[in-house]
Structure 1
Amino acid sequence: MTLLLALLLVVPTLTGLVLVTAAPRATGATVVAAGAVAATVTAVVAIQLAVGAPAATLRIPLVPAPVDLALVYAVDGLGAALVVTVAVVGALVLLAAAGEPRLRRGRFVGTVLVFLGAMLATVTAATLPALIAPWEVMGAASWALIAFDRRDPAVAPAATRAFLTTRVADVGLYVAAGAALAAGVPGLALAGLAGAAPGWSTLVAAGLVVAALGKSAQLPFSVWLSGAMVGPSPVSALLHSATMVAAGAVLLIRAAPLLAVTGAASVVALVGALTAVVLGLVAACSRDLKQLLAASTCSQVGIMVLGAGVGAVSGAAGLLVAHAAVKALLFLVAGGWLAVLRTRSLPALRGAARRHPVLGVTFTVGAAALAGVPPLSLWWTKDAVLAGVPLGDGVLTVAGLFATALSAVSATRAAWFVWRPVRSPSIRREHRRRVPVVLGAALVALAVPAAALGAVLVAVGLVPRADAGELVTTGIVVVLAAVATWVLHSRPPRLRAAVWGRAAGAARGWFGLETATRGVVGTAVNRLARQLDRADAGLGRAVPRAAGTAPALVVALVRLGERPIASAVTALAAGVRRLGTLARRPQTGQAHQYYAQSMIAVGTLAAVAAVVVMAGVRP
């Protein structure tokens, strides 16, 4: 099993590095085949590991005892489900990306494989050093994927904001690692963080929470996910489903015992609930399909974070897995429509499901699952999270139900637009492009788990079954919200505009978060960068000047220091030599001279003794 775990991490990472470095501009079937083989092998290995997960552990020593730091990767129960989800979703995303000629490049396929390898290492990391390394790689790879279309002027600023926002939050991971090291946590193991001393454990928890919230695009870091929508749709499907955005939720789920003992659990639960509601409102008011799905991702991950905060870790993990299949499906469909219809605006997508049935049917399955319609995936898993909310905490319960209703509203709005009939013949003639076969195959493969995975997880016992009353309650809330949304959109446009127009105005720009983040990243960070650049330039000028003063300093040291010391040493040596010469003169070898010398010495000592005695008896 150790070999399998090593293969799981090495195969995608090494293949990706070879493609990125050796063949970044290569295109065609060879690149697609290399990516497909690596992704398929990774998925097969992940499934085998899931079957024999308890024996899979990989340890790479870094620092020997007594510190004993190592990169430790292990596949436990949660890790088994996550590695399969990441590997399978990644393989299907690569399959769908093969349908776009511009994405059949070594640079894109290789970066996706490196990203997958980093995410697989993240979900299997058992120590903080093992987590930090892939965490950093994942951030860098996400920047490269978002900025793939270099000719688009909007790409570079969006990718930079996403990178800088997550990097600021990532500082918390280093703070947590330093505090855990100071607290003496054995091997910096994630499972041992809860046993740290009270003061240090609080600092560790704070660092992990900040890093996780930033990576998972929770408030106040949510808006970087909005800008990331400028990237290719397969990249969005990857980021928003089982990989980067899910990484923060995975970290909080694994750190749930630490959150409970430090009191950070309540903060995490409140942030998750607030994000679920606020970004649920943004999704419900959005007129851009990819922005709607992005805001919905933040909202759904907020419910996972809420589950980690209240201790419903099994439900949160199940929701993470089910949501990965659903959101990958929806983003790939959105990418398909963008490629065929050249738009992602919901009003412009009217009738898109009718013109492209494969996309329409699979999108409807994903939208119904995202809405939480019984008995599809998210209905089961989301209720498992809400069932863990304490009965006395009405705020979290109401927030969870409200976020559930908002998910139904946003998913129903999207479905209503794409199924709305369009009678304009010009639109029918304009959009007769075919959906790539590989994209259709990937969508059909994703539609099945998107619909049924939640029920399967509950049936096998990986996710606890919620109470029947709770299931019925959320089912009624979802159905009522969906029906009300559909009916309202079917009413006269004036009524719909009166309701959604005001709401959309309030939610425009993600409630001002985008403007605020753009100001922070575009102003504060740039100013800091300019100051650092000036400091670097000053240091660059100071070093040559310091080097120029070195000869003069050497001459001064020779004159003021070395020469006087050398003269003093020479004089001391001469004095010692003279004393030695004088000491040899009494050594004549004649006995009478030795006798005279001894008598003189004895007399001298006697005189001294007499003087001392007389001085002692004097009154």
Structure 2
Amino acid sequence: MNASLWLLPALPAGAGGLLLLLRRAGAPVAIAVATLTLALAVHAAVTRPVVNARLFFPGGLPDGTGAGLAVDGLSAVMVVTVAAAGLAVLVFAAGETRGARFHGLMLIFVAAMLVTVTAQDLVLLLMGWEVMGAMSYALIGYQWRDPARVRSGALAFLTTRTGDLGLYVAAGAAMAGGSLALRELPALAWRDLAAAGIVVAALGKSAQLPFSFWLSRAMAGPSPVSALLHSATMVAAGAYLLLRVQPLLAATGWAASVVVWAGALTALTLGAVAVAQRDLKQLLAASTCAQIGFMVAAAGVPAVAGGVAQLVAHAAVKSLLFLAAGVWLAVLGTEDLVGLGGAGRRDRLVGVAFGVGAVALAGVPPLSLWVTKDTILAAVRTPGLYAVLVVAGLIAAAYSARALAAVWRAGPGREGVREVTGWERAPLPVLALVAAGAGAVALPGVFQAWGRLVGEPRAVAPAWGELAMSGGAAVAVAAVTVVATAAARPRRVIGFLAGWLYLERAAVGLVVRPVLALAGALARFDDRVLDAAVNGVPRLGLALARVVRAPFETGLDGVVRAVAAATARLGALARRPQTGQVHRYFAQAAVVLTVLAVALVLLR
């Protein structure tokens, strides 16, 4: 039973690594591996395997009980959703003839997300979390010869990395508290610090305020990357983590309130940002921030069952919309809303599929996000929060209708660069069916069973009256948006919204430039002060050595020279008797003998 859980992330990770090395047969291998991964995910969702952390860390973690990889009700839903989204996106990418490197990176990305959603402790969670972030950088900047795309990938990576530091803080607090298991975090002494770190990391990964701007830059990546990021993987990972640790948020007394208002305000403000966009992918990106905001708010309400239902439905909807947008970008060479006029009429299958996704995103009955959104609203008890989320839901109808009207209205009929391939069409009908029907899990009478599946047995379904009012309001707002002319707004406000609230400018001005200025000042201090001090130490030592050596060196040199001179004189004297004349040697011998005789006489 455990073998399937081992293999679930190992299969796409291993195949992805081989594709990176071999650079051959990218699409066929990737689709085959993704299909097997989906089958393994379904098997794991049924059998619920568990792998204890002691198998990964024989030396032991602090209280490893309950840590490791496991598939419970919540992760069972996620592994199937992640694997299905990955397969759909890879099938679509086969029509764009991407290289093996692209497919390898996508498979490793999916494997990292599978580790993230099945991890039961912070160490394994961090492993999947980090690999996922690294792969997102590589995929957003996949076209590395374009400096602008590489810069966008770097900005997205650094922004999410800034938030990811919170997860390291949480892991440190958990280790200090004695357990890294996620389910044991509410009982730790350091739970508030752990909760703070997790909240920061989750908001950063899910592009919630104030981190939302990185998702705008992520649109520089290929359309399949955008679809995968926005569906059930990276951007949803933060919301999933908050739903997973909801007991920790509730135990702190403050984290739940922070999370619920962060999600609600993101849903409201980024919805307004989406309405102001003139680029289809930017509109969809801002709408992702807004829709993820509902899931984040669900973690704080709490409405775990509703948040998971919203996540699954949104995964299908956003995969569908981004893949359709990718078709038009490849075929028509534009993603501008004005230039896309008539795009929906050009290929009816793509146009109808996009229409289903847009209507579902608007919250129009009977499609999925209509009812999943209301399962979150049904759990809200604060009037102000309820009002913010209701307005955010109505704004969703406006930006969805705006996108739908843009692609279906009569347009100039741009000449296409190429035709839509069968691979690109293949996943769209399936995703459209899921996007239309996924909300059935949240209908009254079914929602309680769904709640028991994901671990919230007391989940409350919205009443039919609430659903009727919500659906009617969404239809009205969508209809007004479709038929209305562009409303006159102050240009500065439009620029503010179209520029994603100038969040990137604020981050650059308040964080990046001060940090770079501080780094420059420290570098100058290092070069001018520390280097001077370090270089001064040997110079001082040499100077002292010169001063100290003078008297000693002079005396020692004099002794050495005197010994050498005496030796030289002795040598000169010793050479004088060496004349080579025999009679001189006899004379010298006679003198020596005479001296010896005299000495003997005197000594006696």
Q: Is structure 2 residue 125 aligned with structure 1 residue 118? A: no
Residues 307-351 of structure 1: per-residue CA shift (max 9 Å, x gap): 100110110011001100100110011111000011001011011
Q: Secondary structure at the match of 2:69?
A: strand
Letter aligned with residue 137 of structure 1: V
Amino acid at match of 1:45: L
Of 305, 321, 340, which aligns to 2:331? 340
Shift of 1:151: 2.4
Taking the aligned partners of 2:348 and 2:530, their CA distance within structure 1 comes to 63
Is the 1:290–1:334 Cα contact (8 Å) retained in structure 2?
Answer: yes
1:36 aligns with 2:31: yes
Asked whether the 8 Å contact 1:63–1:69 carries over to 2, the reply is no
> Which whole-Å CA distance do the structure 2 matches of 1:436 and 1:539 have between them?
64
Could you tell me how far apart the structure 2 residues matched to 1:77 and 1:542 are? Answer: 63
Counterpart residue identity of residue 227, structure 1: R
Structure 1 position 512 matched with structure 2 position 502: yes
User: 1:531: Cα distance to partner?
Assistant: 6.4
Contact 1:318 1:457 in 2 (8 A): yes
Distance 1:541 1:502, change over 3 A: closer
Query: For 1:479, which of 475, 478, 496 is the aligned residue?
Result: 475
Q: Is the 8 A contact 2:330 2:417 kept in 1?
A: no
Question: 1:12 aligns to what?
Answer: 12
Shift of 1:372: 0.8
Q: Which consecutive unaligned segments of at least 5 residues does structure 1 have? A: 490-495, 556-619
Check whether the contact 2:306–2:442 (CA below 8 A) recurs between aligned residues.
no
Partner deviation per Cα, 1:10-32 (whole Å, 9 max, x = no partner): 00111111222x13xx35xx221
Question: In the TM superposition, what whole-angstrom CA distance separates every residue of 1:217-268 from its partner, at most 9, and x where no partner exists?
Answer: 0000110001111110110001111100001001100111111110210111
2:148 maps to 1:163 = no
Q: Which residue of 1 aligns with 2:42?
A: 47
Q: Provide the TM-score with structure 2 as the length reference.
A: 0.83
Moved more, 528-537 or 43-52: 528-537
The equivalent residue for 1:608 is none
Relative to 1, partners in 2 of residues 1:539 and 1:47: Cα closer, same or farther, differing over 3 Å? farther
| Post-superposition offset of 1:520 | 5.0
Distance 2:58 2:401 in 1: 54
1:195 to 183, 187, 192: 187
Q: Partners of 1:87 and 1:525 in 2: how far apart? A: 40
Residues 1:311 and 2:302 are matched in the alignment? yes
Deviations 1:285-304 (CA, angstroms, capped at 9, x unpaired)? 11110000000000000010
Take 2:168 and 2:507, find their aligned partners in 1: how far apart are those partners?
A: 23
Q: Cα RMSD between the aligned structures?
A: 2.8
**Separation in 1, partners of 2:50, 2:61:** 25
2:175 equivalent among 178, 181, 189: 181
Is the contact made by 1:223 and 1:517 (CA closer than 8 Å) also made in structure 2?
no
1:209 pairs with 2:199: yes
Letter in 2 for 1:320: L
Query: 1:99 Cα shift?
Result: 1.0
Contact 2:164 2:200 in 1 (8 A): yes
Report what 1:401 is aligned to. Answer: 390
More moved, 327-336 vs 462-471: 462-471
Whether 2:344 is the aligned partner of 1:349: answer: no
Contact kept, 8 Å, 2:112 with 2:131, in 1: the verdict is: yes
- Report the alpha carbon displacement of residue 457 of structure 1 after superposing the two structures with TM: 5.4
Q: How much has 1:504 moved relative to structure 2?
A: 2.5
Task: Tell me how far apart the structure 1 counterparts of residues 326 and 72 of structure 2 sit (CA, whole Å).
Answer: 34
Q: Which stretch shows the higher mean deviation, 153-162 or 279-288?
A: 153-162
- Shift in CA distance, 546/93, structure 1 to aligned 2, threshold 3 Å: farther
State the 1:81 CA deviation.
0.6
Q: Secondary structure at the match of 1:73?
A: strand
Distance verdict in 2 for CA 1:320–1:535, change over 3 Å:
farther
Contact 1:6–1:58 at 8 Å: present in 2 too? Answer: no
Code of the aligned partner of 2:419 = R
Secondary structure of 1:149's counterpart equals coil
Taking the aligned partners of 1:130 and 1:66, their CA distance within structure 2 comes to: 11
Q: Secondary structure at the match of 1:349?
A: coil
Q: What is the TM-score normalised by the length of structure 1?
A: 0.81
1:468 is displaced (CA, Å) by 1.6
> Which shows bigger deviation, 509-518 or 404-413?
509-518
Mark the CA change 1:433 to 1:136 in structure 2 (over 3 Å): closer, same or farther: same
Q: Quick one: which of 52, 55, 73 aligns to 2:69?
A: 73
Query: SS at the partner of 2:501?
Result: coil
- Asked if 1:466 is matched to 2:462, the reply is yes
Which of residues 237, 251, 265 is equivalent to 1:274?
265
1:288 matched to 2:286? no
Cα 1:548–1:235, aligned 2, differ >3 Å: closer, same or farther?
farther
Query: Residues 171, 535 of structure 1: CA spacing in aligned structure 2 closer, same or farther, 3 A cutoff?
Result: farther
Number of aligned positions between the proteins: 532
Equivalent residue runs for 1:68-467 within 5 Å: 68-69=63-64, 72-101=68-97, 103=98, 105-184=99-178, 186=179, 188-197=180-189, 200-263=190-253, 264-390=255-381, 393-422=382-411, 424=412, 427-428=413-414, 430-431=415-416, 433-456=418-441, 458=443, 459=446, 461-463=449-451, 464=459, 465-467=461-463
Match of 1:588 in 2: none
Contact 1:175–1:203 (CA<8 Å) still a contact in 2? yes
4+ residue runs over 3 A deviation? 55-59, 63-66, 68-71, 456-460, 499-503, 518-522, 524-549
Deviations 1:422-474 (A, max 9, x none): 2x4xx45x227311110100111211111101114543721553112221121
- Residues 547, 129 of structure 1: alpha-carbon distance in 2 compared, 3 angstrom cutoff: farther
The one-letter amino acid paired with 2:340 is: L
Answer with 478-487 or 333-342: which moved more: 478-487
Q: Is the 8 A contact 1:242 1:321 kept in 2?
A: yes
> Secondary structure of 1:150's partner?
coil
> Residue 211 of structure 2: SS of its match in structure 1?
coil
Cα 1:66/1:121, change in 2 over 3 Å: closer
In the alignment, the residues of structure 2 paired with residue 309 and residue 522 of structure 1 have an alpha-carbon distance, to the nearest angstrom, of 31
Would the alpha carbon gap of residues 377 and 222 (structure 1) be closer, same or farther in structure 2, given more than 3 Å must change?
A: same
Structure 2 residue runs of 5 or longer lacking an equivalent are: 452-458, 546-604
Give the residue type in structure 2 aligned to 1:82.
Answer: M
Alpha carbons 1:165, 1:521 under 8 Å: kept: no
Shift of 1:508: 2.4
TM-superposed CA distance for 1:526, in Å, is 4.0
